[in-house]
Amino acid sequence: MATRAAAHFVAVLVRPDQRDVTGERVRVQARHLGIETGAVRVARVYAIDLPGTAEQLARAAPLVLADAVLETVAVDVLPVHSGAFVTTARLPGVTDDEGRTAQLALALAWDEPRLRDGQQCVFAQRLYLLQRQLADGDLRKLASALGNPLVDHLAWGAGLPTAIAAPAFVDHPPTPQQTVDLHGDDDAVLALSKAGCWHLDAAELRAIRDHFDEVAADRLARAMPALPTECEVEVFAQTWSEHCKHKEFNATISLVHNDQPRTVRSLFKTFIRGATERIRDKYAAIGQDWMVTVFSDNAGLVELDADHYFALKVETHNSPSALDPVGGAMTGVLGNNRDAFGTGKGGARLLFNTDVLCFGSPDYAKPLLRGQLHPMRVARGVVDGVEQAGNKSGVPTVNGALLFDDRFAGKPLVYCGTGAILPKQYPNGESWHKDIRPGDRIVVIGGRVGRDGIHGATFSSGALDDKVSGSVVQIGSPFVQKMASDLLAEACALGLVSGCTDNGAGGLSSSVGELAQGPGGALLHLERVPLKYAGLQPWEILLSESQERMTLAVRPGDVAALVALAQRRGVEATDIGAFDDSGRLVVRFGETTLADLDLAFLHDGVPTRYLQAEWTDHPALPNPELTLDAGPMLLRLLASPNICCREAVVRLYDHEVKGKTVIKPLMGPTGLAPQDAAVVRASFDGWHGLAVASGICPKFGDLDPYAMAAGAFDEAVRSLISVGARLPVAGEAPSWSGCDNFCVPNSAFDAVANPDGKLKLGKLVRMCEALYDCAVYFDVPMTSGKDSMKNDFVSEGHKISVPPTVLFTLVARVADVRRTVTSEWKAVGDVVYQVGATYDELGGCDWLRLCGGPDLALHGAVPQVRLGDARRVYEKMMAAHAAGLLASSHDLSDGGLLVALAECAIGGGRGAWIDVCQLSDSQPIAAVLFAESHSRLLVSVAPHHVAAFEMLFGRDAVRLGQVSADPSLRLDNGAESLCALTVAELTAAWRTPLW
């Protein structure tokens, strides 16, 4: 990197008589790598590029940069000894909040406002001082564990560093504007697309070429070249990216299903929007439409109460998290949060976050390919990113899931979800309505623009390979975003904002392009955009995905008030242009017009894709013969990565900030009871709230993608039913909101590059069909969704593709959070029942996977969702909740009945005497204990409610036993004892460390 020695530096170290907890952790981390470092001390080092004397710094630094009790400060010298050192510093241009904050601190100490407002001249880094002398190879290994070369400059050596470097920024003058000629043959234009990182296909490039040929005369009249400018092609590449336009979900698909050909015109319109519209029409007909904005805005918006809407959005951030797990996950969470902020006029307040994460196995032992990080490195980093983003934003992370499968070892799946509350009315009108008019100013608030995150939208639209540039990766800043979102909420409440959206994929190019559709045009002046540093090309300013920025539409008369408010709040707000009704998106830099595009063509001109798909249903393989071994098997299941306790992750997340969380991820007397859904109060003014749950089970997809997707949907529904939500019922003001997130491998058939593409796409079609069938049966609409279509990692001639996966995140309004029910057993004598039926459906189950790996789990029938039975059982559960009959309720999923029994016991710290003979009358005992049949729940009922409960459920509930005073789980099958384990034994197995 371009660096030079800084004028000065300040090093802040923990005093020798205090414990250096970070250093201790680094020492342990090194030991895991097989490196014995001896004692480690960690210094915060600030490279300072300012004129001024060391004496001035020596006076100021201890005052403002260090803890007076714990730390000691050195200026321009390192008054320590060490055997070796490692330093990590942000690469030039990568967000360095700590350096900026240190600069502000010095500005305060010196009462020097110019330091406060000017460019960054203080840069943070970490210096790890290692007691022992270490070989270069060990230091290199340790350095790359402590930092990531994509975002950090890493250095190491013997003794102490000889100089502390500061990044140097190279100023590139703007290069003259180039045009792009797309008249070549397919190979030639595809080569251009590849070189430009546009990810546009031949048909799209032809469509652009033809459009420009058509409007050539008009362009010349506008003083534009006939050929598209580079910048214009970039705008198309962003706007038409798979990420933004979902070309494959809107493609026309020729499907051959069981030898029967048929055509699907747009998966999205047919199955997803189709289901939602059908539900909406059904309830609108009886005057109960609760859907306010579906699929048309950044998040789905539904009715919450008389004064508020509820917004839901879930996004994935898979490719960035594969490259830079911490930064990728962080920007995933923060970016998804911005979608909620940017819904309607803007200013929603976040209520909760969710995180569903899929990684390769913790013990992944295959050699790592070039560019591939070990799944554990990815997992720890992603969790760290989610923690930082959620905690620092003050948003409770209340629900999630953690799945392990080696097919996620190339690209992890990182699903970030957000629920938010929007007041219905602002002084300037209905909040849901982006009321942007010609003449409204375009104002950006938040962070400045740098070269970070260029081509993120197009990059995520392709497979991940080992040739990536660091510029596609961004580091988030929760603090900058918090400042901006607080300002946005305040400005919206004052009626100063007529519409807004976030700057994510595609940067200003996308955000302004999208908002311009309302008024019908926009003119953008890029030279006004505040930059982190000089030297950006205009097109980079347009495309940069630098984080923490919102684009606002503001009436001309309100701009001054908004800018003044922003100034008081310490947030930058800049007027960068205006909306108009010209029908065009015009981008200027000074006197140069970089783009002058027809808005209608930009948004509607993308050609329809044509894709081929095939799927053949096949009969189930017979169950394997296995010995049952219930006790030992239960302990092994409880300890397995897909089932064991998630406390090591959950307790890193703040799940109680805002004081509204009623059902948290872990509950019960010892905080170990895993819950099915989270429940959050909507406000302090009432007891209504929201229940949120996730459904995801890719393991069933190998057997039958339809059954898998239906199972995921059912899992989310039954989790919500379990805690006490009610399915939409006429006359009850229902308010359900769902979000679908598909993550699949590249499913576009190519005889050479993707020979099984038709089969992959066939699976996706079946998954979408299941979504439709479940949604319309339960009356649960999707209000937003997102698809991620290229989840393949390619390196050294190998490809690691994710299994087709869909996550359903469902949210339901609950009338009174105090009447919800948790999973753990609560009192001795309560009677335990299984609700819903078990079938001989061992296919895909965790028991088979544990006994013989994924191949064995291909045996047995896949669990099916029997919609009629499911709905009947759920309606009885709703009645039981309404009558207050349930002491506990836990859904049956991974591991089946036996694991659910153990979780209820561990969670409540109570045992039970269980006899499954009534279940084993009709099904094999292995299925009774381990099958993962859907639509089942395990409930406990206080003795005085037993009669009413049994009357209500009839044959839909089977009595299994009673919660016992003896703290052990005793399991019989009639006269035969299957196992007897103490709660302590179960707990110990379940608390096996995840990593």
Partner 1 sequence: MVGGPVVRVLVLRGLGFNCEEESAAAWQLAGAEPVVAHASDWLSGAVRLDGFAILHLPGGFSYGDDLGSGQVFANRIRLGRLEDGTRVLDTVSAFLGRGGRIIGICNGFQILVRAGLVPNIGGQFVQQVALAANLCGHFVDRWVRCRSAGMSLANLGEREFDLPVRHGEGRLVFGSPELRDLCQEKGLIGLQYLEADGGPATTEPANPNGAELATAGLWSEDGQVFGMMPHPEAYLTFVNHPDWGGRQRRGEDNDEATQTGQAFFRAWVEAATRHAAEVGR
DSSP string, 172-219: PPPPPP-B----S-HHHHHHHHHHTT----HHHHHHHHHHHHHTHHHH
Q: Is 564 in the site for partner 1 (CB under 8 A)?
A: no
**Strand, helix or coil for residue 900:** helix
| Side chain identity at residue 667, one-letter code | M
For 782, counting Cβ atoms within 10 Å of its Cβ (0-12 exposed, 13-18 middle, 19+ buried), the class is buried
Q: What is the token pair recorded at 113?
A: 């406002």
Taking CB under 8 A as the criterion, which residues in 84-103 touch partner 1? 97-98, 100-102
Q: Is 145 in the site for partner 1 (CB under 8 A)?
A: no
Q: Check: CB of residue 23 under 8 Å from CB of residue 41.
A: yes
Stretch binding partner 1 (CB under 8 A), from 64-72, 132-140, 601-609, 703-711: 64-72
What is the pattern of x (binds partner 1, CB under 8 A) and - over residues 14-53?
----xx-xx-xx------------------x---------
Q: What is the token pair recorded at 917?
A: 């003979």
Among 377, 482, 525, 872, binds partner 1 (CB under 8 A): 482
Which stretches of 49-163 are assigned E, i.e. beta strand?
71-75, 84-90, 122-130, 152-158
Q: 964: Cβ–Cβ under 8 A, 6 or more apart, which residues?
A: 828, 910, 911, 912, 913, 970
Can you tell me which residue has the tokens 């009839």? 954
Nearest distance from C-beta of residue 385 to partner 1, angstroms: 13
| 472 HSE (CA, 13 A, CB side) | 22
Among 30, 47, 66, 224, binds partner 1 (CB under 8 A): 66
Taking CB under 8 A as the criterion, which residues in 721-760 touch partner 1? none
Nearest distance from C-beta of residue 565 to partner 1, angstroms: 10
Among 271, 309, 408, 653, binds partner 1 (CB under 8 A): 653
Stretch binding partner 1 (CB under 8 A), from 13-21, 775-783, 921-929, 978-986: 13-21
Taking CB under 8 A as the criterion, which residues in 944-963 touch partner 1? none
Q: Is 476 in the site for partner 1 (CB under 8 A)?
A: no
Stretch binding partner 1 (CB under 8 A), from 60-68, 258-266, 596-604, 869-877: 60-68
Q: Is 671 in the site for partner 1 (CB under 8 A)?
A: yes
Q: 467: Cβ–Cβ under 8 A, 6 or more apart, which residues?
A: 371
What is the pattern of x (binds partner 1, CB under 8 A) and - over residues 484-523?
--x---x---------------------------------
Nearest distance from C-beta of residue 826 to partner 1, angstroms: 4
Give the integer Cα–Cα distance in Å for 501 and 579.
14
Among 315, 824, 891, 932, binds partner 1 (CB under 8 A): 824
Among 614, 654, 792, 932, binds partner 1 (CB under 8 A): 654
Taking CB under 8 A as the criterion, which residues in 584-623 touch partner 1? none
Indicate the DSSP class of residue 803: P
Among 108, 202, 256, 867, binds partner 1 (CB under 8 A): 108
- The nearer residue to partner 1, 51 or 684, going by C-beta atoms, is 684
- The nearer residue to partner 1, 220 or 827, going by C-beta atoms, is 827
Nearest distance from C-beta of residue 945 to partner 1, angstroms: 11
DSSP string, 585-608: EEEEETTEEEEEEEHHHHHH-SPP
Give the binding-site size for partner 1 (rule: CB under 8 A). 72
Q: Is 660 in the site for partner 1 (CB under 8 A)?
A: yes
Q: Is 180 in the site for partner 1 (CB under 8 A)?
A: no
| Side chain identity at residue 34, one-letter code | G
Q: C-alpha distances in angstroms, 688 versus 348, 663, 812, 844, 992? A: 18, 13, 11, 38, 37
- The nearer residue to partner 1, 102 or 810, going by C-beta atoms, is 102
Identify the CA nearest to 98 among candidates 85, 89, 111.
89
Q: Is 202 in the site for partner 1 (CB under 8 A)?
A: no
Q: Is 883 in the site for partner 1 (CB under 8 A)?
A: no
Q: What is the token pair recorded at 561?
A: 């008030």
Give the integer Cα–Cα distance in Å for 824 and 818.
16
Stretch binding partner 1 (CB under 8 A), from 104-112, 179-187, 320-328, 518-526: 104-112
Nearest distance from C-beta of residue 138 to partner 1, angstroms: 22
- The nearer residue to partner 1, 310 or 653, going by C-beta atoms, is 653
End-to-end Cα separation, the chain, in angstroms:
34
Q: Is 686 in the site for partner 1 (CB under 8 A)?
A: no
Taking CB under 8 A as the criterion, which residues in 761-820 touch partner 1? 817-818
Q: For residue 4, count other CB atoms closer than 10 A to its CB.
A: 12
678-681 and 689-695 strand pairing:
antiparallel
Nearest distance from C-beta of residue 98 to partner 1, angstroms: 5
**Strand, helix or coil for residue 854:** helix
Q: C-alpha distances in angstroms, 483 versus 259, 503, 532, 709, 795? A: 57, 16, 17, 39, 40
CA dihedral 661, 662, 664, 667 (to 10 degrees): 140
Among 821, 848, 905, 989, binds partner 1 (CB under 8 A): 821
Taking CB under 8 A as the criterion, which residues in 828-867 touch partner 1? 830
Nearest distance from C-beta of residue 896 to partner 1, angstroms: 24
Nearest distance from C-beta of residue 442 to partner 1, angstroms: 25
For 452, counting Cβ atoms within 10 Å of its Cβ (0-12 exposed, 13-18 middle, 19+ buried), the class is buried
Nearest distance from C-beta of residue 484 to partner 1, angstroms: 11
* Residue 710, Ramachandran bin (φ over 0: left; ψ between -120 and 50: alpha; else beta): alpha
Taking CB under 8 A as the criterion, which residues in 926-945 touch partner 1? 942
- The nearer residue to partner 1, 97 or 966, going by C-beta atoms, is 97
Q: Is 643 in the site for partner 1 (CB under 8 A)?
A: no
Nearest distance from C-beta of residue 454 to partner 1, angstroms: 25
Backbone angles phi, psi at 452, to 5 degrees: -80, 140
Taking CB under 8 A as the criterion, which residues in 392-421 touch partner 1? 392-394
Stretch binding partner 1 (CB under 8 A), from 476-484, 788-796, 841-849, 976-984: 476-484
